[in-house]
């Protein structure tokens, strides 16, 4: 693979100071034999990230013959990964002693990073290995998603296969046939993405090193299963800190004077003392108010930028209540349906070569949203900026997004598609303009002010109002607040009053505001043209939030994210260097710099090693060892956890263990069968591993049926379900 200019070099060579031979892989199974279709016919192998994407590639390339795990035809073999086929091996791969948790064994610091597949994906991994080893394959094309994780997914499989065949990189931002075809016509040199692979590898290893070592350190120290993460712990800390400020907030009263004269109401500055405000109002009674200043200024508000992923997730949460994870899932689906461009982007602009096709996209958006505007959006130059586009441009509709193409979208998909379409229109509309009038009135020794606004042109706000109406969003209308005609020197005897107000507490985080906080963490004082540091990336922030909820550190209260006692106590025991966003944000920034070749992988990892090792050697547990008594629920013990053999107890939403394993009452599998999990059922499952159910309902026929449900564990904290039927019986 030509990642470093040397034929046959590992794509992971030089990462984290490890020699190529240090990256051993644990192979989950032998590769099956794959027959060559025709002796002497040379083939190119394309590897996509998902089966659906591979099908699109195959259609474009003419690989129309379906095989077991790949397509063939037109001189191409097109196969796929299923997300990450290989991941870092668990600690036991580096020694059996790590099966037991002892602080004395920390840190677990691999000198030879090992990788392992999963039982569910080993067949496809073996297929890919066999395809890469076929003698008729002359070139391998990396068609994984065009980003850091896509580079890692392909790179690990390529190394696992011990391939030495030259590679090319497919780098596209749209799944439209024309974009895919153009991408294959303009394949990139894989060596251009070596630094991206290094950054992906370092991110993965840093997360493993921090998570494995610090999770063990604090779990042992407090006799509870605690999960500590490089990004998730600082994120949790921000939520806990905000929640503390809200719960401990003491509102303070303040008082303002209101003056009514000249056909308007003007207000004074705030006064903390009511008696002082009342005395000032009394002193002004009967005195003449004088207009001392009238200024009128024309003002404009620029249109919004296009969507990057984080902004789309924020606004979808605000408008529809969608979680960040759901928004990413919906946008990915629309991308694969060729209706939106690539979702995992941090850019809010498009490139110059896209400008000529944008008017057509605007026309489609207007038709799809049924908007009849006073002025058609046409300012394409406002959204074009090559310098602000790195790997991918902003999320926009594709030329394929016609009315007929979107006719069968589900409600949620339609909402997201319409939101992106409306943003394209708003971003290319003209400015919102208005006149602002400011009036200053003196009465005695007190100065009062009032402001008025006269809207001259709604501009892009007309589109936003139309979209809000389309999706049923209640918003405050932009209206005129015109002041009466006034001039300096006018006088009038006013009416005065005192109005009481209170200071407002900070608001709890929603996914909207937390995503913003994650994006901007560590950026205080950073110049605008410098990369914002931030926690995580647009592609990972949703999963970080979702994982904190699954682990029981956060709960959702409507749109708010609220820390649980377990989450609060975890932040209580973590030292500042682990929970502060500053260090992690700095690491994220260095990963971005690594992608540009500005930071060496070994230097980055050395900083991670040092930080974790320092935490381990300086850690002094708090005296209170009972901070996590209810990690696995309270009350009656229902049985032994199938993963760790500790006690399973009931919690408000699940039956769970302190190790993190949980059977949710609203389990998706049971819900799909028209049922839910009960305490009686869980007791039987924990006792025997299986239990009879008599209240399942077939989604196909609507009829009830019975079976035996079998419980088994997976490599996650959630169960795997199987159904067993009596002989001769079917669902």
Residues classed as catalytic = 342
Cα dihedral across residues 91, 95, 101, 104: positive or negative? negative
Q: Strand, coil or helix: what is 259?
A: strand
The four Cα atoms 282, 286, 291, 292 give a dihedral, to 10 degrees, of -60
Phi, psi of 432 (to 5 degrees): -85, 120
Q: How far apart are CA 89 and CA 78, in angstroms?
A: 28
Phi, psi of 536 (to 5 degrees): 75, -170
Parallel, antiparallel, or unpaired for β 647-650 and 654-657? antiparallel
DSSP 353: G
Q: How far apart are CA 70 and CA 712, in angstroms?
A: 31
Q: How far apart are CA 632 and CA 650, in angstroms?
A: 8
CB neighbour list of residue 269: distance below 8 Å, 6 or more residues apart: 256, 447
Whether the Cβ atoms of residue 553 and residue 563 lie closer than 8 Å to each other: yes
Q: How far apart are CA 256 and CA 236, in angstroms?
A: 39
Strand-pair partners of 128: none
Q: In what order do the strands lie in the sheet with 690-697?
A: 690-697, 704-712, 720-724
CB neighbour list of residue 388: distance below 8 Å, 6 or more residues apart: 347, 348, 349
Measured in whole angstroms, the distance separating CA 126 from the mean position of its chain's CA atoms is 31
302: region left, alpha or beta (phi > 0 left; psi from -120 to 50 alpha): beta
Q: What is the CA radius of gyration of the chain?
A: 30
Whether the Cβ atoms of residue 457 and residue 433 lie closer than 8 Å to each other: yes
């Amino acid at each position: 693979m030509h990642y470093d200019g040397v034929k046959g070099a590992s794509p992971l060579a030089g990462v984290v100071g490890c020699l190529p031979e240090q990256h051993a892989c644990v192979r989950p199974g032998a590769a099956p034999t794959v027959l060559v279709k025709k002796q002497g016919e040379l083939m190119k192998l394309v590897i996509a990230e998902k089966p659906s994407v591979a099908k699109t590639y195959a259609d474009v390339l003419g690989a129309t013959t379906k095989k077991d795990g790949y397509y063939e035809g037109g001189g191409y073999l097109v196969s796929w990964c299923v997300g990450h086929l290989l991941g870092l091996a668990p600690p036991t791969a580096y020694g059996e002693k790590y099966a037991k948790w002892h602080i004395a064994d920390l840190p677990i610091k691999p000198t030879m990073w090992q990788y392992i597949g999963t039982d569910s994906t080993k067949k496809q991994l073996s297929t890919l290995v066999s395809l890469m080893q076929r003698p008729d394959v002359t070139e391998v094309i990396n068609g994984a998603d065009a980003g850091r994780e896509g580079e890692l997914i392909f790179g690990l499989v390529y190394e696992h296969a011990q391939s030495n065949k030259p590679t090319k990189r497919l780098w596209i931002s749209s799944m439209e046939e024309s974009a895919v075809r153009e991408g294959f016509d303009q394949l990139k040199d894989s060596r251009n993405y070596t630094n991206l692979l290094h950054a992906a590898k370092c991110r993965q290893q840093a997360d493993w090193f921090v998570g494995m070592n610090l999770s063990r350190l604090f779990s042992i120290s407090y006799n509870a299963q605690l999960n500590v993460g490089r990004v998730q712990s600082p994120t949790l800390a921000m939520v806990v800190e905000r929640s503390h400020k809200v719960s401990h907030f003491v509102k303070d009263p303040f008082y303002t004077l209101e003056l009514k004269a000249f056909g308007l109401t003007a207000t004074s500055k705030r006064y903390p003392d009511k008696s002082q405000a009342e005395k000032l109002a009394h002193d002004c009674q009967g005195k003449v108010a004088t207009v001392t200043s009238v200024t009128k200024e024309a003002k404009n508000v620029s249109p919004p930028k296009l969507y990057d992923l984080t902004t789309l997730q924020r606004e979808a949460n605000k408008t529809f209540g969608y979680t960040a994870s759901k928004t990413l899932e919906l946008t990915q689906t629309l991308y694969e349906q060729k209706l939106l461009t690539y979702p995992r982007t941090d850019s809010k602009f498009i490139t110059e070569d896209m400008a000529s096709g944008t008017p057509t996209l605007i026309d489609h958006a207007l038709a799809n949203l049924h908007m009849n505007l006073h002025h058609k959006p046409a300012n394409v130059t406002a959204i074009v900026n090559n310098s602000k586009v790195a790997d991918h441009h902003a999320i926009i509709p594709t030329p394929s997004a016609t009315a007929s193409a979107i006719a069968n979208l589900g409600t949620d998909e339609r909402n997201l598609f319409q939101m992106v379409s409306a943003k394209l229109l708003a971003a290319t509309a003209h400015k919102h303009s208005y006149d602002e009038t400011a009036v200053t009135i003196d009465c005695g020794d007190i100065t009062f002010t009032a402001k008025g606004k006269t809207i001259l042109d709604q501009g892009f706000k007309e589109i936003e109002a139309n979209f809000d109406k389309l999706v049923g969003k209640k918003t405050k209308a932009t209206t005129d607040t015109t002041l009466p005609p006034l001039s300096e020197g006018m006088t009038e005897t006013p009416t005065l009053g005192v109005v009481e107000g209170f200071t407002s507490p900070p608001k709890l985080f929603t996914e909207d505001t937390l995503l913003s906080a994650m994006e901007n963490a560590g950026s205080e004082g950073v110049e605008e043209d410098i990369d914002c540091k931030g926690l995580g990336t647009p592609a990972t922030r949703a999963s970080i939030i979702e994982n904190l909820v699954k682990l029981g550190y956060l709960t959702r209260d409507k749109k708010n994210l609220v820390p649980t006692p377990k989450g609060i106590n975890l932040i209580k025991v973590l030292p500042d260097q682990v929970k502060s966003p500053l260090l992690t944000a700095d690491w994220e920034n260095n990963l971005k710099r690594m992608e540009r070749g500005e930071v060496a992988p070994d230097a980055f990892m050395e900083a991670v090693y040092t930080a974790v090792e320092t935490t381990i050697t300086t850690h002094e547990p708090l005296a209170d060892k009972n901070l996590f008594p209810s990690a696995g629920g309270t009350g009656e013990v229902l049985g032994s956890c199938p993963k760790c053999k500790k006690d399973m107890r009931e919690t408000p939403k699940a039956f769970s263990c302190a190790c993190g394993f949980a059977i949710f009452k609203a389990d998706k599998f049971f819900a799909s069968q028209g049922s839910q999990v009960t305490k009686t059922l869980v007791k039987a499952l924990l006792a025997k591993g299986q239990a009879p159910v008599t209240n399942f309902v077939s989604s196909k026929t609507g009829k009830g049926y019975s079976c035996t449900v079998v419980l088994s564990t997976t490599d996650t904290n959630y169960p795997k379900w199987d159904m067993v039927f009596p002989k001769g019986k079917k669902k």
